[in-house]
Chains A and B, each alone.
Chain A
Amino acid sequence: MTEFVLNVNGTPRVAEATPDTPLLWVLREQLGLKGTKFGCGVAACGACTVNIDGVAVRSCSFPVSAAGNRAITTVEGLSPDRSHVLQRAWIAEQVPQCGYCQSGMLMSANALLRAIASPSDAEIEAAITNICRCGTYTRVRKAIHRAAQLMKESQ
């Protein structure tokens, strides 16, 4: 077991784990941040997506030892009160159904909006490769557009 000091949602957090432990399981089992979900374990579905230095990363396939002091953001770090533009847009568009993939969807969308403030449909399609078995995709697209609009209005 190795001790890691991780920078999670703006706070230094200490975790004990073997170095090969995927960041997903450190977040869930060591740090109690269970919003990040396990879906496939092979970086295919995106349910485990977090942001590392603002980039979408599938945490099931990212060893904790690779995190260093980079800034990790999970769905819990979007806002303390569901006030983040994406959360507001997600509620307004009533995106989730079962909800299991939605943390990953939100974090993929967060990385997208950071890179492209007002993405086109094509850019959304390229960036959002997460799987949603309930089929919320058209609402995900609408909600990202809405969040981009909210972001613009708040500037």
Chain B
Amino acid sequence: MPSGCCVDAALSRRRFLQTLTSGSGALLLCVSWPAASAILKGIGRRALAHGEVAVTAWVRITPDNEVTLVLSQGEIGQGISTTLPALLADELGADWSTVRLITAPFAPDFRNPRINFMFTGNSESIQSFHDLMRRTGAAAREMLVAAAARRWKVSPSTCTTRNSQVVHASSSRTLNFGAVAADAARLKVPQQPALRPQKELTLTGRALERVDVPAKVDGSAVFGIDVELPGMLNAAVRTGPAVGSQLTAMSEAAARASSGVVDVVRIANGVAVVADTYWNARRGLRALQPQFDPGPHADLDRKSLGALYRERLESGPFATPVKVGDAEGELARGSRVVTFDYENPFLAHATMEPMNCAADVSAQRCRVIAPTQGQELATYALSAALGMPPERIEVSRSPYIGGGFGRRLVPDVPVQAALISRAVGKPVKVIWDREEDIRRDLYRPATLVRMTARLDASGRPIAMKARVVSPTILLPVFPAIAPVLEQQGVDPSALEGMMEWIYDVPNRLVEFHLLKLPIPTSVLRTTGYGPNIFALESFIDELAHAAGVDAYQYRRTLLHGNPRARAVLDRAAELGQWNGSTAPHEGRGIAVTHAFGTYIAQVVHARVDDDAVKLSRVVSVVDPGRVLDPGIARQCIEGGTVFGIAGCKAEVTFEHGRAFPDNLNRLQLPHLAETPDLVTEFVDGGGELGGVGEVGPVTVTPAVANAIYSATGRRLRSMPVSRHGLRFT
């Protein structure tokens, strides 16, 4: 049989989004939303400060030489507010120690240039903005140089920039950027500016002090929850605790009599109490005693969900996004066929900063300040909800965001805040309590994956098949994809990690069932890679065992055609002392993958005493092509590792259609005491830049399962570990 269709190329999520949003695809994006962006041009509607000149949309300079750079991407902890402006400043020749940063409004200039949409997520920021930042910085530099050279009557090629000055070295003359900014701004923006040679870059390739750290150690960082608008009220909300449950009764008079309460507002599936202070709103909500019906999904629980997933795993229907060679034929030959099922749990985002949003809506305009990852989608969602054209809607991002993990791409909270503000006719800040935050999450979906392989005489998989049952991941953050889900029955995000395997397997088949659930599901740090790589990297371990080969050596052999994957694997094995001796009850687990454009291999050291699992060490070796800031990249991998451990612990389950647990006292997130020693090393493998924000957790889950297997002989084919009577210590 010829190697199958070209879906490999068509369905890689990034390529897919690019297709969808470029050329005629742009029409598709706009179908479900009012025509939006034509009016929002240039630097947006935010006025320039007094005397400030916008040299380009990204660079503003005052006469007294204050250089301000615009930050398109949200700082959700990943360090992007340092790395992106540093790239720009490096090319520009700005004095990094005095550069000022501002957060961008939604405007087309600040869209992700590869996807043509403004958002922070998918480990895209470096991958998509690196070239643009450098080009933008270089363009502004050339404009400033041209303006200065004209004034000096010298050739621009004899001038350079440094420390926010244009320098003419041969005559030792300098001009501040501020002195020539107005002239420069009148010049045409060069489309193909010359980039500085690598050796001239002083801010790239080394660990910078993060620009956001000082404000985060003295309490001055303004998060969404800290935003104040003049005359602002505060709202506490309660919606039905179960999926789809509706408000049936409340004591409105009691709430209105409560101290500070201004109004009681009905919202979708629930009610908001608006008061002078948030605490008074909370007290009012308590007095209100809202009652809810059980909702239409009261039969939804772990058991019924489990049965549903199983049934779909057996009977589909399935789309076939990957078909290379004749996997079915090979598997049908019967001998040495290995098959196992792997289960991933629902996970909550549980960002440390609970969902919140400040909104000020009148008949004429809507202004929202939110800790958001998705200003553009929020603009369209607000437009639809308010029946207001997008040009009257301004979605600003709070300077700091207390974690995102994908949750803040969804515009539900800005819409809720705007509707409450419109109802009371005043600016309102809505803050969800933690229970609301977890119950109204859009969870990382539970998935069920069946892996099947046939081994050849040497123990290598001659054919491998993956069957994935998953609800959507992408739809809530990219509604334009709805027709693809409907017509093709696939979700590109939920297939990540399955479309392209790093291993050499000649016959490959991937089947996908898009499970429709009433439980809302969406992107969470690792998206589809997390659940799929848990299945794949656990299964590869099982194949190694079946073949009687060491788990590291087995992977190494299968990676003979993939030198970058092999390099991180080898180094992780070395750093992780793979061949060292282990005491009784101790084990080592290994996993490797390619996700978000980056190669990662991890070795986990575990000790298991009865039910107690101690993770003592996690070694990560990461190749994102090139490391732009080794300090920040290391933070991302360290933090990502802990996030991955949380994914082995902190599941959300459903009882009577309701999510449990619903607060952090029961969610089982890892603490400092459980955190292993983290050893992280980077490899500059070359090629396109990859992301480091989400790749860290991807291999943790299988590496932990593989380590527990190594320590105990028990194979964990589902997470969290508590399902197997285990706990972390």
Flag B654-691 by CB within 8 Å of A: 1 or 0 each. Answer: 00000000011100011111010110000000000000
* Given A41-B434, A138-B675: A100 touches B403 (CB 8 Å cut-off): yes
Contact B209 A25 (CB under 8 A): no
Contact A94 B78 (CB under 8 A): no
Contacts of B72-97 to chain A: CB distance below 8 A: 75-79
Contact A90 B354 (CB under 8 A): no
- Of A25, A43, A131, the residue contacting B669 (CB under 8 A) is A131
Contact B671 A131 (CB under 8 A): yes
Contacts of B585-631 to chain A: CB distance below 8 A: 631
Contact A34 B217 (CB under 8 A): no
**Size band of the interface chain B makes with A:** 35 or more
Contact A97 B77 (CB under 8 A): yes
A21 contacts partner chain B, Cβ-Cβ < 8 Å: yes
Flag A35-55 by CB within 8 Å of B: 1 or 0 each. Answer: 111111111110100000000
Segment touching A, from B538-546, B638-646, B716-724: B638-646
With most chain A CB atoms within 10 A of its CB, the pick from B75, B214, B664 is B664
B401 contacts partner chain A, Cβ-Cβ < 8 Å: yes
Bound CA span A73–B223, Å:
21
Contact B352 A90 (CB under 8 A): no
Bound CA span A136–B402, Å:
13
Bound CA span A12–B401, Å:
32
Contact B639 A97 (CB under 8 A): yes
B213 contacts partner chain A, Cβ-Cβ < 8 Å: yes
B219 contacts partner chain A, Cβ-Cβ < 8 Å: yes
Q: In the assembled complex, how far is the CB of residue B350 from the closest CB belonging to chain A, in whole angstroms?
A: 6
Segment touching A, from B159-167, B275-283, B294-302, B557-565: B275-283
Q: In the assembled complex, how far is the CB of residue B280 from the closest CB belonging to chain A, in whole angstroms?
A: 8
Contact A18 B283 (CB under 8 A): yes
* Given A37-B353, A94-B631: A82 touches B664 (CB 8 Å cut-off): no
B579 contacts partner chain A, Cβ-Cβ < 8 Å: no
B210 contacts partner chain A, Cβ-Cβ < 8 Å: yes
Contact A35 B639 (CB under 8 A): no
B641 surroundings in chain A (CB, below 8 A) = 135
A18 surroundings in chain B (CB, below 8 A) = 259, 279-280, 283
Contact A45 B352 (CB under 8 A): yes
Q: In the assembled complex, how far is the CB of residue A139 from the closest CB belonging to chain B, in whole angstroms?
A: 7
Contact A91 B213 (CB under 8 A): yes
Contact B638 A99 (CB under 8 A): no
Q: In the assembled complex, how far is the CB of residue B530 from the closest CB belonging to chain A, in whole angstroms?
A: 15
Contact B214 A98 (CB under 8 A): no
- Of B226, B234, B351, the residue contacting A133 (CB under 8 A) is B351
A79 surroundings in chain B (CB, below 8 A) = 218
Bound CA span A12–B507, Å:
74
Bound CA span A26–B673, Å:
32
Contact B678 A38 (CB under 8 A): no
B246 contacts partner chain A, Cβ-Cβ < 8 Å: no
Contact B77 A75 (CB under 8 A): no
Closest to B434 in A: A40
B220 contacts partner chain A, Cβ-Cβ < 8 Å: yes
A1 surroundings in chain B (CB, below 8 A) = 259
Q: In the assembled complex, how far is the CB of residue B666 from the closest CB belonging to chain A, in whole angstroms?
A: 8
* Given A44-B664, A99-B400: A33 touches B218 (CB 8 Å cut-off): no
Closest to A127 in B: B672
Flag A91-105 by CB within 8 Å of B: 1 or 0 each. Answer: 100111111111100
Closest to B669 in A: A131
Q: In the assembled complex, how far is the CB of residue A80 from the closest CB belonging to chain B, in whole angstroms?
A: 9
B391 surroundings in chain A (CB, below 8 A) = none
Bound CA span A81–B259, Å:
38
- Of B77, B234, B279, B280, the residue contacting A99 (CB under 8 A) is B77
* Given A33-B219, A41-B433, A135-B675: A97 touches B354 (CB 8 Å cut-off): no
List 11 A–B pairs whose Cβ atoms lie within 8 Å, in order of A's numbering.
A45-B352, A45-B664, A94-B631, A96-B77, A129-B671, A131-B669, A132-B642, A135-B640, A135-B643, A137-B670, A137-B671
Given contacts A36-B219, A76-B219, 19 further A-B pairs with CB under 8 A are A1-B259, A18-B283, A25-B278, A34-B222, A37-B353, A38-B225, A43-B665, A75-B218, A79-B218, A91-B217, A95-B217, A96-B77, A96-B216, A98-B77, A100-B403, A129-B673, A130-B672, A135-B640, A137-B675
Q: Which residues of B contact A (CB under 8 A)?
A: 75-79, 207, 209-210, 212-223, 225-226, 234, 259, 277-280, 283, 350-354, 400-405, 431, 433-434, 631, 635, 638-643, 646, 663-665, 669-673, 675, 677-678
